[in-house]
Amino acid sequence: MNTVFKLYYHLWSLSFLASVFALKELLKKGRILKLVSTGVFTFISLILVTAGGINAFIFSSLGKLPPALNGLAYLREEDPELFSLIQWANKEVKGSPVVLEAYGPPYQKFARISVHTGWRTVLGWRHVAHLRGSAFYQTKQRMEDIKEIYQTADINRAKMLLKKYQVRFITAGRLEEKTYGREGIEKFLLYPRDFPLIFKKDKLKVFAVNY
């Protein structure tokens, strides 16, 4: 996969350059072919220029932070809750504990805690787990267990599943409420001995797990 990331995007630039020479050869074949190939090339060029312009506009509107080496700087404005949690985690928590957080599609805000802290999580990006050797039934089971922990009203069942994955921290924020609903998540507040609240920033909470 790393080879793909390093080479794949550059191949588009090289392919574009090669297509110019390919078009030149096609134009030598005849008038009809010349018209068709010119039309196709023009059409594709318009699509690429339009798509490139839209892409540049989107990325230029994401923020105006100055260039820096701090990959977390954007979170200070975009997600202050998460930024505060990361700062707290890096300062107060040692090692790489297991954190429970909402599961969802890749390239979105899911797995946000484990991505920014280095903590282990019950399930992050599913396709990456498959690339690392996990079977589909294993990741599916983890998806179902995460959902059940957040949604079940049976506290003993939740504790059993948490122990199964040796979860040390539970994340409960806007993303978890949107994904699994608020009712099941509120049960953690009802059992402070089992799930002491150790971090809170606006709507984002982190509970510790006592077995």
In this prediction, residue 41 has a pLDDT band, given cuts at 50, 70 and 90, of: confident
- pTM, two decimals, is 0.73
Q: What are phi and psi of 197, to 5 degrees?
A: -80, 115
The lowest-confidence range among 30-44, 67-81, 97-111, 140-154 is: 30-44
- Three-state secondary-structure class, residue 207: strand
Q: Is 197 exposed, middle or buried (0-12, 13-18, 19+ CB in 10 A)?
A: middle
In this prediction, residue 141 has a pLDDT band, given cuts at 50, 70 and 90, of: very high
Instruction: Indicate the average pLDDT of the chain.
Output: 85
The strand pairing partners of 170, in sequence order, are: 100, 207
More confidently predicted of 55 and 80? 80
Decide if 123 contacts 142 (C-beta within 8 A): yes
Give me the residue label for tokens 């505060």: 84
pLDDT at 211 over 80: yes
pLDDT at 17 over 80: no
What CATH number should be reported for the domain whose range is 75-208?
Answer: 3.40.50
The pair of three-digit structure tokens given for residue 10, joined into one six-digit string: 């550059």
| Nearest-angstrom CA–CA distance, 124 and 105 | 9
The pair of three-digit structure tokens given for residue 156, joined into one six-digit string: 């003993």
pLDDT at 158 over 90: yes
pLDDT digits (tens, 9 = 90+) for 80-101: 999 999 999 999 999 999 999 9
Report how far apart, in Å, the C-alpha atoms of 126 and of each of 71, 107, 130, 176, 190 are.
24, 11, 6, 17, 32
Domain boundaries, the chain: 2-60, 75-208
More confidently predicted of 211 and 10? 211
Q: What integer pLDDT is reported at residue 63 of this predicted model?
A: 58
| Nearest-angstrom CA–CA distance, 33 and 91 | 67
